[in-house]
């Protein structure tokens, strides 16, 4: 029986349909570097938008509390009641502000 030639099995020739591991690794490294560059560019481009969205969500909560509290305060003055409507307006405004804040946050994640 003839002995198999080990030198052909180990080396890669130009006739080999499979690429060698070095060329495959170089293509993988190139693809990784391109995606890393693309990811870095996207983060810096979205940073001002993300800050604006975060500020808007906070303003939604604060404005709801402020409007509810102010409406309750003026109702108390008009009806000559103790801080009943102020407290009620404060909590209703907080609930409305929180609801708006959650709605905006869900819209921004989609």
3-state secondary structure the chain: CCCCCHHHHHCCCCCCCCCCHHHHHHHHHHHHHHHHHHHHHHHHHHHHHHHHHHHHHHHHHHHHHHHHHHHHHHHHHHHCCCCHHHHHHHHHHHHHHHHHHHHHHHHHHC
Residue 97, pLDDT score: 92
CA 97 to chain centroid: 22
At 15 the pLDDT is: 61
pLDDT score of 56: 87
Q: How confident is the model at residue 2 (pLDDT cuts 50, 70, 90)?
A: low
Chain segment 42-85, per-residue pLDDT in tens: 556 677 788 888 888 889 899 999 999 999 999 999 999 989 99
The overall pTM is greater than 0.75: no
């Amino acid at each position: 029986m003839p002995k198999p030639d080990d030198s052909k099995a180990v080396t890669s020739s130009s006739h080999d349909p499979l690429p060698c591991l070095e060329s495959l690794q170089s293509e993988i490294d190139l693809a990784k570097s391109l995606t890393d560059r693309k990811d870095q560019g996207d983060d810096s481009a979205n940073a001002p938008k993300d800050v604006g969205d975060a500020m808007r969500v906070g303003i939604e909560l604060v404005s709801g509390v402020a409007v509810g509290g102010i409406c309750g305060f003026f109702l108390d003055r008009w009806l000559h009641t103790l801080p009943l409507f102020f407290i009620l307006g404060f909590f209703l405004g907080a609930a409305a502000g929180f609801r708006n804040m959650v709605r905006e946050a869900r819209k921004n994640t989609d």
